[in-house]
Structure 1
Amino acid sequence: MVSERGTTGPAHGVRAGRAGLAGDRVVAAGSAARTLVAATARALRGADCADLGHPRGMSRLSGAPEPVRRAAAARAAGRVALTVGQAAEVDADRVARWFADQYPRRRYPGVLLGSPHGAAAHLAVALGIPWLPTGFELSVHWPQGAVDGPQAALDHGAALAARLLVGNPELHVRQVHCPASRGALAGATVALAAHWRWLPTAYLRLLVECLEPGAPVLLLCDARTWPVVDSAPGHSFQIGCPGSGFDPVDFHPDSPALRQVLHAAGSDGARWCPPEVAGAPRLAEHGVEPGFEQSVREWGAVHRHPSHRVLVPEPAVLSAATADLYRHWLRAAGKTGNRLVVECGRLLDPWQVVRAGMVPYWCENATRRSVEGAEWWLAGSEPFSSVDVLPEPPGLRSPAVAGLPQWLAVAGFGRRRRALDRSAARGYPVSSVPTRRATEVLRAQSYDLPTPPPMTVAAALAALRDGGSQQGLLVS
C-alpha cells in the first residue's frame, strides 16, 4: 500500500469504485504528453515508434481548396474529441495510471517528471529512466463554435471545466484558445490543459515500487509566461500561447498577424473581442503547478530520494543543452558524435536515435522562432558531418511558420550530408505526417552499435548546468 499522507494534498482525489473513461480516450490524440510518454516507454523497452500514427490523416487534401481542407480537419478533430457529456466522466487518477503503466516494471536509477519537451524524452532514454508529464491535454467538442469568438470559447470552456473539476479536485484546468497554433480547429473544439496540483497516486506507486534506493527525482519546469484570465476556482484561460510563434500583443484585434491567421482559418476577424486580462503574466499552459513541485520535494525528503528542478526559459535552451550532452555521451563511448538529426514536434524516435549513435536536437514546432533556435545552436557548435532534418508540417498557414528555405538552411550545416525529409516537405505546411515517419527515416541510418551505457543522473545534471547556464537554464 502506498502511503500518501502529507505528500499529495488534501483528500488526494481518492474515488472508491469510480469508473471513468480510459486514459487513451481522455488524453488528446497527438498531444505532446501522449506522444512523448509513448516514445520514451518504447525506447526503454528497446523498441521504436513504428506503430505510432497521427490523428489527422490530411495529407491527401494538402492541395484541396482551403474551405474543403478546413472542413475535413474539423471533422477529423471531432471524431477523436470528447463530447460535452464525457467531460464529466474524466478520471485524472485513471489517466495517471495509464501513463505510468506504459513503462516496464523494473528498478530505475531515477525518474523525470515535468513539462512536455522532446529533449526530455531523449534525456530520459540516455539515463535509462521514465519520463512522466505533470499534466495532460484534452480536446472537447464545441458545438456552434467560432474561431474568432474567444469570449464564447471562455464561456463554453468554463462550463466544461466545472464538469471536469467536480470529480477531479486535484486538477487545475488551463483553457487555451489559439487560432495561430490550432487554426480552424480552435472553432470546432476546446483545448484544455489539465495539470495535477500534487503527485497522483499512480505516480507515487511507481516511485515507491520502481526507484532504486536513493535514486533522484528530476522535475522539468517550462518557465514561459503568458497573460492569463482567472475564470473560476480551478479554471483559467489564455488567448494564444508561446508555441504559436506570436507574442501576446499579436492577439490584439488590430494586429495584422492576427487578421492573417483568422483569414486562413475562415474568419474575417470582425467579431474578435478578447476578455480583458488583469495582472502580471503567469506560467503558460505547459508550466508545472507549484503544489506539484512541493509534493515532489516533500515525498523525496520523507523517502530519502533527492529531488532536482530543471527550469527551462525557452525550449531551444534545453534542446541545445541535451544535444551537447548527447554528443559528449556518444564520444565517451567511442563514437564520433558527428551525425545530427533535427526533429520537430511529434517527429521523433529516441530509440532509433540511440541505435544509430546520432545527436538529437528537437524543435518544439515549425515556427520561425523554433527553427532559428536550431540555426543559432548549429552556428556556434562544432560542425556535424551529416544533418538530417524532419520538419513536422503544422497543418495550417501562419506568418509565424518557417518556410522550407529556412529548414533547408538548417540542413545546410552538414559538411557531407544535408538531408531534408521529402515526405515531410511534400505539401508543407498544410500536409500531415505520421509520427512513425521519423522512425522510417532513422531506420535508414547506419547502425552504430553497441549503444552507450546509460549516463548517470549526476553526470547529466552537471552537463546541463555547464551547457545551459549561460542561456538561462537553471538546475537546482
Structure 2
Amino acid sequence: MQEWLAASGSGIPGPDRIVSPDSLGRVLLSVASRALRGEDCADLGYQPMLARFRGAPEAVRRAAVARAGGRAAVPVPHAGEIDAERIARWVVDHYPPRWYPGMVLGSPHGGAVHLAIALGVPWLPSAFEVSVHWPGGSVDNPLGALAHGARIAARLIAGNPEVAVRQVHDPASRGVLAGSTVSLMVRWQQLPEAYRRFLGSRLAPGAPVLLLRDARTWPVLDSGAGHTFQLGAAAGALQPADFRPGSELLGQVLRHTGGNCAQWDPPGVSSPQGYAEHGVEPGFEASLRDWVQGTGSPIHRILFPRPGALSAATADVYRGWLREAGKSGNRCVVECGRLIDPWQVVRAGLVPYWCENAAEGSVVGAEWWLAGSAPFSSVDVLPEPPGMHSPGVASLPQWLAVASFGRRRRAVDRTAARGYPITPVPTRHATEVLRGQPYDLPTPPPLRVVDALAALRDSGSPQGLLVC
C-alpha cells in the first residue's frame, strides 16, 4: 500500500499502475506507439511476473510469485476509484500528435498492430486489463474468485457505468497468480470521450476506420449488473471441458500451481456461449458507427474466428506490400505473444506471422500457413516461454518444425529456447534479435487501406476471416 501512495500523491493509482503490465493489450499499445514514432522496443525491459525468482525451489518460487503478484496488483480499496475515462486519455496520449490517414481499433492482436503500422496509423484497444489483489485466494477456488471479482466489479462499474467487466479465472495461463489476484477485462460499452476527441482531432477528413473483432466464443456466466465470469480463456491452451471436475488436464495444471484437484468446484458448468475475453462490446461498435456517420469516414469491420486467421492474412498482406515496393518478401519472422517489434520488422523488410502464445494450436497454425505459402528463404522463430509447465504448451521440437520451413536459414532464438517453457523474456529481447537482421531500406510507402482490405479478403476468406 505504501508503494501505491508514494507513486500517486493523491493515493489513487494512475493508469501506469492500474493497467496490468503483464497484459497483452498493454504490450501491444507500447510497441505500436513506438513504431509510429520510428522507434523500436529496446526500452521495454519489463519482466513478466511469472519470470521472477527463477533460482528458488519450485514450491518456494510459487509462493514468492503469488506474494509479489498480490503486492503489484491494484489494492482492493482502490478498485472502486479506477477511472476508465482517464485510462482512455492515457491510451491516446501514447501517440504522436499529428494527422493520421486512418485508425485501427478493437481486440488485442499482434497482426492488428502490424497492419496498423503498415498503414501508418494508431491502434486503440477496446478494453484494458486490471489485476486486483485477492487476499486469501487460491487457484483451486473458482467460486471464491467469482465472489471476490463480483464485489470489485460492482464498485468499478458504479463509478464507470460506461464499462462492462469480464472476469477470467484461468490457472492454466496465469499460474499461481490466479490464486493471489483476480483478472478483470474492463471493456468499454461505448466510445470513450478521449477516443472521440482523438479521432476528431487526429483522423484525417474522410479517412477510414477499421474495427477488428475477436469472434471466439466461450462459456460465460452472467452474474448481472455488467459483470461476467469465465473459467479458462480462449487465449489459453485448454478447452472449456477441461475445467470440469475430474479433468486430467486440469489436475496437471492444479498440481503445477500448488492447487488441490479435490477442491475444484466450478460455478455455471452449463453457462451459455458468449464472446470470449478479447471480444468487443456491441455498444462500443454501435457508438463508433454513430460517430463516423457524421464525419464522412467509412468504417470497416474485420472479424476473425481464431487468431491464426488474422495472423496468416496479415502476413500475406505484408508479403504483397513488400513485393510491390520491389523487395523480395522472402524472409519471415514468427513472433509469439509479447515478443514483437513492428518497427524492426518493417526496417528489415520481414514478413511477420504472430502467434498469440505458445499453445500447441497457435504453433500448428503457423505451420499450416507456412506449409501453404510460397517458400521463404529464411524463417526466424521467437517462441515466448509461458513461464510455467502447462498441458497444451508447444514443445521446442514443434517450434523447430516451424523454423524448418526456411530454405536457407532456419533459426529458433536460443535465449528464449534455453529457458523454455519456464523463463519468459522481455519484449526488448525481440528487438535485440531483430536488430541482427540485415537492413532492407528504404521502408515501403504506407499501405493504402483499400489495398489492405482487398488483400485481407483474398487471403482471409478461406480461413473464415470476415471483412465488411
Please tell me the TM-score bracket, short chain as reference. over 0.9
Quick check: 2:383–2:399 contact (8 Å CA) kept in 1? yes
Equivalent of 2:121 in 121, 129, 149: 129
Asked if the contact 1:228/1:277 (under 8 Å) is kept, the reply is no
| 8 A Cα contact 1:59 1:427, kept in partner | no
Report whether the alignment pairs 1:453 with 2:441.
no
Equivalent residues of 2:139, 2:257 under 8 A apart: yes
Kept after mapping to 1: 8 A contact 2:40/2:341: yes
Matched residue, 1:187: 179
Partner SS, residue 191 of structure 2: coil
Aligned to 2:248: 256
- Which of residues 156, 166, 173 is equivalent to 2:158? 166
**Change beyond 3 A, Cα 1:149–1:380:** same
Q: Classify 1:36/1:84 alpha carbon distance in 2 versus 1 (closer, same or farther; 3 Å).
A: same
The question of 1:206 aligning with 2:186 is answered no
TM-score normalised by length of structure 1: 0.94
1:41 aligns with 2:59: no
SS of 1:415's partner is strand
State whether residues 221 and 310 of structure 1, in contact with CA within 8 Å, keep that contact through their aligned partners in structure 2: yes
1:191 and 1:475, CA in 2 relative to 1: closer, same or farther beyond 3 A?
same
Q: Identify the residue that residue 414 of structure 2 maps to in structure 1.
A: 422
Q: Is the 8 A contact 2:47 2:425 kept in 1?
A: no
Residue from 138, 149, 155 that aligns with 2:141: 149
**CA 1:209–1:20 in structure 2 vs 1: closer, same or farther (change >3 Å)?**
farther
Partner of 1:28: 20
Structure 2 counterpart of 1:331: 323
Q: Alpha carbons of 1:58 and 1:195: their partners in 2 closer, same or farther (altered >3 Å)?
A: closer
Matched, 1:433 2:425: yes
CA distance in 2, matches of 1:123, 1:74: 36
Aligned ranges for residues 247-286 of structure 1 at < 5 Å? 247-278=239-270, 280-286=272-278
* SS state at 1:176 partner: strand
Change in Cα spacing, 1:60 to 1:134, as seen in structure 2 (3 Å) is closer
TM (normalized to structure 2)?
A: 0.96
**CA shift digits 1:406-430 (9 cap, x unpaired):** 1111111111111111111122111
Task: Kindly indicate whether the alpha-carbon contact (under 8 Å) linking 1:20 and 1:94 is maintained by their aligned counterparts in 2.
Answer: no
**Match of residue 459, structure 2, among 452, 460, 467:** 467
Match of 1:228 in 2: 220
- Quote how far apart the aligned CAs of 1:69 are: 2.1
Separation of aligned partners in 1, 2:150 and 2:286: 27
SS in 1 for 2:263: coil
Q: Which residue identity is paired with 1:45?
A: R
- Residue 382 of structure 1, aligned match among 356, 365, 374: 374
Which residue does the alignment assign to 1:237?
A: 229
Aligned residue among 79, 90, 93 for 2:82: 90
Distance 2:327 2:297 in 1: 33
Q: Tell me the residue number matched to 2:6.
A: none
CA–CA distance in structure 1, aligned partners of residues 403 and 56 of structure 2: 29
- Indicate how the Cα distance of structure 1 residues 67 and 197 shifts in structure 2: closer, same or farther if over 3 A, else same: same
| In structure 2, C-alpha distance between the alignment counterparts of 1:23 and 1:212, rounded to whole Å | 28
2:362 to 365, 370, 395: 370
Distance in 2 separating the partners of 1:279 and 1:148: 19
1:394 matches 2:350: no
Secondary structure of residue in 2 paired with 1:386: strand
Distance in structure 2 (CA, Å) of the matches to 1:229 and 1:474: 27
Q: Among 404, 407, 413, which residue is 1:412 paired with?
A: 404
- 1:361 paired with 2:353, answer yes
Aligned partner of residue 140 in structure 2, secondary structure: coil
Structure 1 unaligned runs (5+)? 1-17
Deviation at 1:305, TM superposition (A): 1.1
Q: Deviations over 1:365-387 (max 9, x none)?
A: 00000100000101111111111
What letter is aligned with 1:37?
L
Query: What is the letter of the counterpart of residue 208 of structure 2?
Result: P
Distance 1:57 1:265 in 2: 14
Kindly tell me: are residues 93 and 57 of structure 1, through their superposed partners in 2, closer, same or farther at Cα, counting changes over 3 Å?
Answer: closer
Q: Quote the Cα distance in structure 2 between the aligned partners of 1:89 and 1:214.
A: 38
Q: CA deviation at 1:76?
A: 3.0
AA paired with 1:467?
Answer: S
How far apart are the structure 1 equivalents of 2:337 and 2:114? 13
What corresponds to 1:246 in structure 2? Answer: 238
- Contact kept in structure 2, 1:20 and 1:91, CA below 8 Å: no
Cα distance in structure 2, aligned partners of 1:202 and 1:231:
29
Conservation of the 8 A alpha-carbon contact between 1:61 and 1:431: no
2-structure distance, mates of 1:426, 1:226: 34
CA–CA distance in structure 2, aligned partners of residues 429 and 280 of structure 1: 33
Change (3 A) 1:60 1:148: closer
CA drift at 1:304? 1.4
1:137, 1:67 → 2: CA distance? 28
Distance 1:81 1:19, change over 3 A: closer
Q: Are the equivalent residues in 2 in contact too, given 1:119–1:318 (CA < 8 A)? A: yes
CA RMSD of the aligned region, Å? Answer: 1.4
Q: Secondary structure at the match of 1:340?
A: strand
Matched residues in 2 for 1:207 and 1:268: separation?
49
Aligned residue pair count: 459
Structure 2 counterpart of 1:8:
none
Question: Which string of whole-angstrom CA distances, capped at 9 and with x for unpartnered residues, describes residues 272-331 of structure 1?
Answer: 000124553000110000011111111111221111110010000000000010000001
SS in 1 for 2:384: coil
1:237-285 per-residue CA deviation (whole Å, 9 max, x = no partner) reads 0000111121110101111000000110011211100012455300011
Q: Shift in Å at residue 63 of structure 1?
A: 5.6
Identity of aligned residues (%): 65
CA contact (8 A) 2:345 2:434 kept: yes
Letter in 2 for 1:307: I
- Structure 1 residue aligned with 2:294: 302
* Separation (CA, whole Å) in 1 of partners of 2:177 and 2:111: 27
CA contact (8 A) 2:348 2:437 kept: yes
* Letter in structure 1 aligned against 2:258: G
1:72 is displaced (CA, Å) by 2.6
1:322 to 303, 308, 314: 314
Contact 2:212 2:302 in 1 (8 A): yes
Counterparts of 1:36 and 1:441, CA distance in 2? 18
Match of 1:195, SS state, is strand
- 2:209 counterpart residue number: 217
Instruction: Name 1:106's counterpart in structure 2.
Output: 98
Deviates more, 1:220-229 or 1:80-89: 80-89
C-alpha contact (below 8 Å) 1:224/1:283 kept by paired residues: yes
